[in-house]
């Protein structure tokens, strides 16, 4: 028996033991309850059969790893339709626009979701060329035996996430590094060659990061062009070439996604408070902006008219 096979058998036995202690969460709560749990615990593992809200966009503020165990799901990810199928392993950077569209009846997936607080622990523990960073916003099709290995990792992560140990984050971070190493081995054995990102790809990535951090304070294309040391015209040309939409549309989408989410799911907040959160000078400016991009006033959208 090879060393890798011995390791996998041992790993699965360890996970089976761990699951006797901790039963993994089934299903997935509402977006707000999910956010509350992640912020409280730092890391969570979910075994899901459906998405929380179909047809509604939201900005995911977390890093996330997923395994599609069966079936498929179709989502809109930053203006691009993506289908995740059985045996796909996916990794996502935080602060991207995500819209669940549909899933097959036999869809099942496992999600490992990390808060930014946990992700900081992760990068502090592995500061030198942390290998897993290169896999974010990537999708890999794995072989069935490789999926079993990843499921074992996720099951152990689920058990570790529930511990009340003072060093729980460090234990989980170490296990995530094991996942990163396994993914590296699997990708290599499957013939995947990591491509060096083009300058345009890196520009789009940096633009998304900037928008996610500044859209509630700056909605002008010139601000982002200046940050990236480009003229607004040239910057706009590059973004349209890479994404098929204008830089202004990307910024607007971030604003509108968050505005709709706050109006629909945070009914304890007044429209004035939402306006303040999104950086508008007053409620009238927010209402004018919202209606120009949705055809409804904020109140009409909240009331479902």
Counted domains in the chain? 2
Confidence label for 63 from pLDDT (cuts 50, 70 and 90): confident
Give me the pLDDT at residue 20, please: 40
pTM of full prediction above 0.75: no
Q: What are the pLDDT digits (tens) for 189-208?
A: 888 766 666 788 788 878 98
Residues 269 and 211 in one domain: yes
Report which of 175, 6, 182, 148 is spatially closest to residue 67, judged by C-alpha positions: 148
Residues 27 and 160 in one domain: yes
The rounded mean pLDDT for the chain is: 82
Query: Average pLDDT of 38-62?
Result: 82
Residues 43 and 180 in one domain: yes
Residues 223 and 161 in one domain: no
Report which of 211, 147, 149, 198 is spatially closest to residue 15, judged by C-alpha positions: 149
Q: Which of 189, 219, 250 is the last residue of a domain?
A: 189
Q: Which of 189, 207, 227 is the last residue of a domain?
A: 189
Residue 111 pairs in a beta bridge with 46, 66
Domain of residue 266, CATH code: 1.10.10.60
220: helix, strand or coil: coil
Residues 66 and 109 in one domain: yes
Residues 50 and 74 in one domain: yes
Q: Which of 189, 220, 247 is the last residue of a domain?
A: 189
**Residue 44: its H or E element:** strand 43-48
155 within a domain of the structure (yes/no): yes
Residues 126 and 257 in one domain: no
Q: What percent of the chain has pLDDT over 90?
A: 34
Does residue 80 register a pLDDT over 90?
no
CB 256 within 8 A of CB 211: no
CB 60 within 8 A of CB 95: yes
Confidence label for 249 from pLDDT (cuts 50, 70 and 90): very high
User: HSE of 86 in the Cβ direction (CA atoms, 13 Å)?
Assistant: 8
Residues 65 and 112 in one domain: yes
**Which residues, 6 or more positions from 76, have their beta carbon under 8 angstroms from its beta carbon?**
57, 82, 97, 98, 99, 101
Give me the pLDDT at residue 21, please: 36
Q: What are the pLDDT digits (tens) for 256-284?
A: 988 998 898 888 889 999 999 999 999 99
Q: Which residue has the higher pLDDT, 27 or 258?
A: 258
Query: Average pLDDT of 160-166?
Result: 82
CA-to-CA separations, 125 to 166, 169, 171, in angstroms, rounded: 16, 10, 11
Residues 62 and 146 in one domain: yes
Parent domain of 252:
199-302
What whole-number distance in Å separates Cα of residue 169 and Cα of residue 117? 10
Residues 86 and 153 in one domain: yes
Residues 138 and 259 in one domain: no
Give me the pLDDT at residue 27, please: 54
What whole-number distance in Å separates Cα of residue 125 and Cα of residue 123? 5
194 within a domain of the structure (yes/no): no
Does residue 122 register a pLDDT over 70?
yes
Residues 153 and 238 in one domain: no
275 within a domain of the structure (yes/no): yes
């Amino acid at each position: 028996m090879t060393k890798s096979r011995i390791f996998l058998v041992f790993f699965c036995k360890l996970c089976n033991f761990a699951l006797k202690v901790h039963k993994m969460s089934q299903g997935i709560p509402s977006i707000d309850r999910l956010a509350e749990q992640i912020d409280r615990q730092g890391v969570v593992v979910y075994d899901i059969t459906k998405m929380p809200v179909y047809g509604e966009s939201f900005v995911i503020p977390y890093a996330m790893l997923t395994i599609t165990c069966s079936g498929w799901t179709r989502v809109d990810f930053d203006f691009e339709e993506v289908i995740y199928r059985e045996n796909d392993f996916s990794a996502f950077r935080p602060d991207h626009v995500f819209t669940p569209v549909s899933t097959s009846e036999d869809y099942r997936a496992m999600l490992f979701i990390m808060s930014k607080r946990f992700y900081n622990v992760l990068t502090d523990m592995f500061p030198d060329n942390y290998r897993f960073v290169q896999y974010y916003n990537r999708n890999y099709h794995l072989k069935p035996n490789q999926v079993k290995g990843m499921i074992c990792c996720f099951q152990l992560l689920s058990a570790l996430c529930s511990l009340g140990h003072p060093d729980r984050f460090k234990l989980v971070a170490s296990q995530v590094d094991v996942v990163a190493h396994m993914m590296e081995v699997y990708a290599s054995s499957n013939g995947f060659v990591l491509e060096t990102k083009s300058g345009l790809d890196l520009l789009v990535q940096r633009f998304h990061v900037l928008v996610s951090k500044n859209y509630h304070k700056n909605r002008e294309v010139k601000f982002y062009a200046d940050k990236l040391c480009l003229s607004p015209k040239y910057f706009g040309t590059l973004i349209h070439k890479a994404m098929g939409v204008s830089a202004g549309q990307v910024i607007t989408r971030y604003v509108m996604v968050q505005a709709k989410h706050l109006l629909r799911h945070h009914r304890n907040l007044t429209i004035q408070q939402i306006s303040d959160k999104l950086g508008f000078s007053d409620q009238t400016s927010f209402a004018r902006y919202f209606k120009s991009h949705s055809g409804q006033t904020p109140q009409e959208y909240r009331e479902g008219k």
